[in-house]
Amino acid sequence: MQVNCLFTPSPRPSPPDQLYFAVLKQKIKSTGERHCFCVDEELAYENFYADFGPLNLAMFYRFCCKLTKKLKSIMLSRKKIIFYTCGDQKKQANAAYLIGSYAVMHLNMMPEEAHSLLVSRNSTYIPFRDASFGTCMYNLNILDCLRGVHKALQYGWLDFSNFDVEEYEHYERAENGDLNWIIPGKFLAFSGPHPKSKIENGYPLHAPEAYIPYFRNHNITTVIRLNKKMYDARRFTESGFEHHDLFFVDGSTPTDAIVRKFLNICENAEGAIAVHCKAGLGRTGTLIGCYMMKHYCLSAAEAIAWIRICRPGSIIGPQQNFVEDKQNSLWAEGDVFREKTLNERENGKVAVTRILSGVDDITINGSNKNRYNDDDERNGLTQGDKLRALKSKRQARSSSGSLSTLICLFVYSLVVPDLNTLHIDCALVNRAAEGCPSVRPRSANRPPPMYPCGFGFCCPMSGRW
């Protein structure tokens, strides 16, 4: 079914107190004064192990379409619209991420502004975690996700005016290639090809030839393999693609030499780059995250958040801490790179040279080299194999079974479903949103901050609380 979502200015102004977010203990019904909706069951995260979010890009898109349609509805124009969650703590975290990201994308809020509403009156949400089975080694909180969404808007990676949700959901499925764009037109993450197409451990494997038509149609010129050689690279190179091998052990972190080589390849690629390891999650996300930190100045948490929104399950275990440890050095390298590039352009020289052009591939096991024998990744069942099998099984189960308005975003907790008899613990923001999803510069004439007024908050723009 085609989903249409038009982000165009609303032909009518909406009431300044129309939109609410609530955390409830049970479901509530709509009335003549309020319209209530919940997506706890409709938008459900498909976990690998103990991971539970954030919800992927397609789910965020569908949420935005649903909420925007309600806000533009003439039938609902005089009703309060209450987006609520009554699920467990995991559902609450995902609901807060959705409404917070909506505020960043469509209400022109900064991430910190939206987050301050979500945590008003000491509301708390559990942090997201990685797709590993063991103890959580790194917490990703809602503010990290909001900042990741904000950076994606700034750099044009997130633009729902040309986002094809059906294409996203088609190609993310294992049987259709298991691929996702992390940076549109620059980085594609995908599951590692196999010598021949078949089903293995419940997961559909695809030969290199299965990807070639898609790669050509999307200007992908370079393929980078991070796992053991499961297929002959000539099957890509003879079709006109550059192919590079930068092996490091499944579940481990790359050496500095591998990071440097990866960055150099990507900085010199003529077109987009397709990166894969076994499952296209851990090693793949780690190195793409390094590039994002160097060239877009994302923090480690912002990079991890955005990559997981695009491709859930990415960057696992110690790889999270590795990305965080590399953050400052990659920021510094990025500053040097940009200064050097600017100077070379001004002097009429080639901007970038192939520092490691004489190295065709790098195979370094690093400190984890004794964890496996050389052939273990080819013949044994590694973390990547398990993740691929889990993804295929969960997808099989799931198969069978610009807004222009003055709006208020309330965040509060309710202990009973009768809104008419409740004291509302809230924080209030009144914001005019204009045009399609984009990030606009903050105006010097923006409304003054809110001031406490009794038990609510007074907004000078509307004079209402």
> Which value, to the nearest 10 degrees, does the dihedral of the CA atoms of residues 216, 220, 226, 232 take?
30
Q: Please tell me the distance from the alpha carbon of residue 133 to that of residue 136, in angstroms, as a whole number.
A: 8
**Cβ–Cβ < 8 Å for 104, 150:** yes
Q: How far is CA 247 from CA 54, 156, 180, in A?
A: 29, 31, 21
**Cβ–Cβ < 8 Å for 273, 224:** yes
According to DSSP, the residues that pair with 361 across neighbouring strands are 245
Q: DSSP assignment of 72-118, as one string?
A: H-STTTTSEEEEEE-S-HHHHHHHHHHHHHHHHHHS---HHHHHHHH
Among 425, 434, 428, which Cα is nearest to 463's? Answer: 428
Q: Please tell me the distance from the alpha carbon of residue 449 to that of residue 353, in angstroms, as a whole number.
A: 49
CB count within 10 Å of CB 358 equals: 6
Alpha helices, DSSP H only, in 32-88?
Answer: 57-72
Residues 6 or more apart from 160 whose CB is under 8 A from it? 5, 7, 61, 64, 105, 436, 437
Q: Please tell me the distance from the alpha carbon of residue 49 to that of residue 65, in angstroms, as a whole number.
A: 29
Q: What angle do CA 344, 348, 350 make, to 5 degrees?
A: 60
As given in the structure block, the two tokens for residue 138 are: 């790194």
Q: Please tell me the distance from the alpha carbon of residue 416 to that of residue 434, in angstroms, as a whole number.
A: 36
453 in active site: no
According to DSSP, the residues that pair with 407 across neighbouring strands are 431
- Confidence (pLDDT) at 47: 94
Question: Over the range 382-394, which residues count as b (16 or more CB within 10 Å of their CB) and which as e?
Answer: bbbbbbbbbbbee
- Confidence (pLDDT) at 1: 31
- Confidence (pLDDT) at 320: 98
Q: Please tell me the distance from the alpha carbon of residue 433 to that of residue 453, in angstroms, as a whole number.
A: 25
Q: Please tell me the distance from the alpha carbon of residue 309 to that of residue 279, in angstroms, as a whole number.
A: 16
Among 83, 94, 87, 99, which Cα is nearest to 47's? Answer: 94
Q: Please tell me the distance from the alpha carbon of residue 323 to that of residue 287, in angstroms, as a whole number.
A: 9
- Confidence (pLDDT) at 419: 38
Quickly tell me which residue has 């959901």 as its tokens: 169
298-314 confidence digits (pLDDT tens): 999 999 999 999 999 99
Q: Please tell me the distance from the alpha carbon of residue 357 to that of residue 360, in angstroms, as a whole number.
A: 7
Domain boundaries, the chain: 19-147+404-458, 172-399
266, 277, 426, 459: which one is catalytic? Answer: 277
Task: Kindly report the CATH class assigned to 172-399.
Answer: alpha beta
As given in the structure block, the two tokens for residue 262 are: 């990866």
Please tell me if the domain spanning 19-147+404-458 has the same topology as the one spanning 172-399: yes
According to DSSP, the residues that pair with 456 across neighbouring strands are 453
**Cβ–Cβ < 8 Å for 270, 221:** yes
**Cβ–Cβ < 8 Å for 290, 323:** yes
215-248 confidence digits (pLDDT tens): 999 999 999 999 999 999 999 999 999 999 999 9
Pairing assessment for the beta strands 80-85 and 19-23 based on DSSP bridges: parallel
Give the pLDDT of the chain (465 residues) as one tens digit per residue. Answer: 333 333 333 434 455 678 999 999 999 999 999 999 999 999 999 999 999 999 999 999 999 999 999 999 999 999 999 999 998 999 999 999 999 999 999 999 999 999 999 998 778 999 999 999 889 999 999 999 999 999 999 999 999 999 999 999 999 999 999 999 999 999 999 999 999 999 887 789 999 999 999 999 999 999 999 999 999 999 999 999 999 999 999 999 999 999 999 999 999 999 999 999 999 999 999 999 999 999 999 999 999 999 999 999 999 999 999 999 999 999 999 999 999 999 888 887 654 444 444 344 444 444 444 343 445 555 566 776 677 666 766 565 555 443 333 334 444 433 333 333 232 233 333 333 333 333 333 333 333 332 222 222 222 222 222
Fold classification of 19-147+404-458 is Protein-Tyrosine Phosphatase; Chain A (3.90.190)
- Confidence (pLDDT) at 378: 54
Radius of gyration of the chain (CA): 24
